[in-house]
Amino acid sequence: MTRQRELIYRIVTAAPEHRTAEEIYDLAREEIPSLARGTVYRNLGLLVQAGQIRKLEMDGAPARYDRDPLTHPHLICQRCGRVEDLTMPEALLAPLAEDLGEPITGYELKLYHICPACRG
């Protein structure tokens, strides 16, 4: 754990925000101005691989990073891209998986809305 990686991890996990690599990069440079963008991407990748954080691909927008590595659904504002975590009764998905007769290795559920702030 280098200073850089520790900082990046701290930024992702400190707040419930789901930030983009660029946002993390900007925040991190307040503390380590020499930090390189590549280092941010590299470390985010490593943290994801290590199961410490989660990457959220965003449909035509930069990916965002979630401090909670466990699978759970997200509520996404279609206007500003803000992401909120949802809690999902596992029971909800079970019947669907059962119908398939297929072992499911994971899932991804995104709900879209216009957040109160954007609704005005």
32 binds its own copies (CB under 8 A): no
The mark string for 80-109 relative to its own copies (x by CB under 8 A, - otherwise) is: ------x-x---x--xxx--x-xxxxxxxx
Instruction: State how far the Cα of 22 lies from the Cα of 40, in Å rounded to an integer.
Output: 9
52 binds its own copies (CB under 8 A): no
DSSP code at position 69: -
Buried b / exposed e across 76-89, counting CB within 10 Å, b at 16+?
A: bbeeebbbeeeeee
Q: How far is the CB of 44 from DNA (least distance, A)?
A: 7
Burial of 30 (0-12, 13-18, 19+ CB in 10 A): exposed
**Single residue of 59, 70, 90, 120 touching its own copies by CB under 8 A:** 59
Contact 66, 54 (CB under 8 A): yes
CB nearer to DNA: give 52 or 98. 52
Q: Using CB under 8 A, list all residues that contact its own copies.
A: 57, 59-60, 73, 75, 78, 86, 88, 92, 95-97, 100, 102-114
